[in-house]
Copies of this chain bind each other. A is one copy, B any other.
Amino acid sequence: MTAPSTQPTPTLADVARRAGVSTATVSRCLNTPDRVIEETRNRVLEAVRELGYSPNFGARALAAKRTNTIGAVIPTMENAIFARGLQAFQEELRLKGITLLVASSSYRADLEEEQIRTLVARGADGLFLIGAHRDPALYDFLNRRGIPTLAAWVHDPDAPVPTIGFDNHAAMLDLAREVIARGHRRIGVISAEQASNDRARARVAAIRAAMAEAGLGADTLSLVETAYGIDEGAAAFDTLMQRTPRPSVVMCGNDVLAVGAMGRAKETGYDVPGDVSITGFDDIELAKVCSPGLTTVHVPHRQMGTQAAQALVAMVAEGAPGQGQRLDTYVVLRGSLAPPRA
């Protein structure tokens, strides 16, 4: 497998000769297969396979201005937070014959920048990013290179690129109002690091806003910032429950943290929701499967992914400016939230 090839690499012309068609036809088969009749396409792909031909960047750039590749950078591949939305994004690209290449940045801005530059260097026609807040120099770079870029998981009309997502502040505000309406006054919050995460910032700000509405002093909010993860959620729960006053509810920045907190609550003998209520954000599978079920914010992941793909493809194909879009979220009430014990 590993010895570098000694045979000459087959060319587009070799494929054309073998298939008995023009090189232009071969290019069309590779770049816009739907514009070639099936019989011809099959003959060409057969020749591609037999010769082991692989179009390289140069050849495809000549054949068509595009590589039919879209790049995405997501913060993490673990915990399925972005999985369903990304799957829907890919399925939609698929219908248009476009391949998705994904990199994951571990929530690190420096890695994300490196991966964006790599995807551009590898010929991505467009980029799909999570969240809109990043170094303006990076947006300048993408602008200069003319790479259509779209951001999801947020909706921010003022962002430098079109955003298709939801209003993280409004979504968490709805949930915080439900929590406060049930009588909770001592509110614990487990959030992702806010500095590098605009979604996390908006969600924490929304909880503060709901508390202010209800006349609750900011001193009754007890915050822990941590990395996303089940174990991190468990550790943060311990920290919060050791503080005075002890929170009657723990609102988590996402479902993964919440499930970690709930597991830890059981291990340490706290009844949920009797002793402490717990809420999440995202409504991923974990939220339905854990018991009690997790009260959370439902995010339309599939819809977000599908519409983002349609918008980004239009930006790439037609040089369209790109339409941002705000999607609706709603609170899902399950057993993990109840009024605090008197």
Contact = CB atoms under 8 A, between A and B. Distances in A.
A117 interface: yes
Contact of A94 (B111, B139, B288): B111
Query: Which interface residue of A67, A285, A315 has the most chain B CB atoms within 10 A?
Result: A285
Given A100-B103, A111-B94, A289-B290, A54 B121 contact: yes
A319 B1 CA distance: 9
Interface stretch (A77-85, A268-276, A325-333): A77-85
Contacts of A322: 1-2
A286 interface: yes
A194 interface: no
B83 A160 contact: no
A257 to B, nearest CB: 12
B99 A101 contact: no
Interface stretch (A140-148, A173-181, A198-206, A211-219): A140-148
Interface string A1-13: 1111101010000
Contacts of A123: 57, 122
B288 A263 contact: yes
Contacts of A3: 146, 319
Interface of A: 1-5, 7, 9, 49-50, 52, 54-58, 60, 67, 69, 71, 76-80, 83-84, 86-87, 90-91, 94, 99-104, 106, 111, 114-115, 117-123, 137, 139-149, 160-162, 230, 259, 263, 285-286, 288-291, 315, 319-322
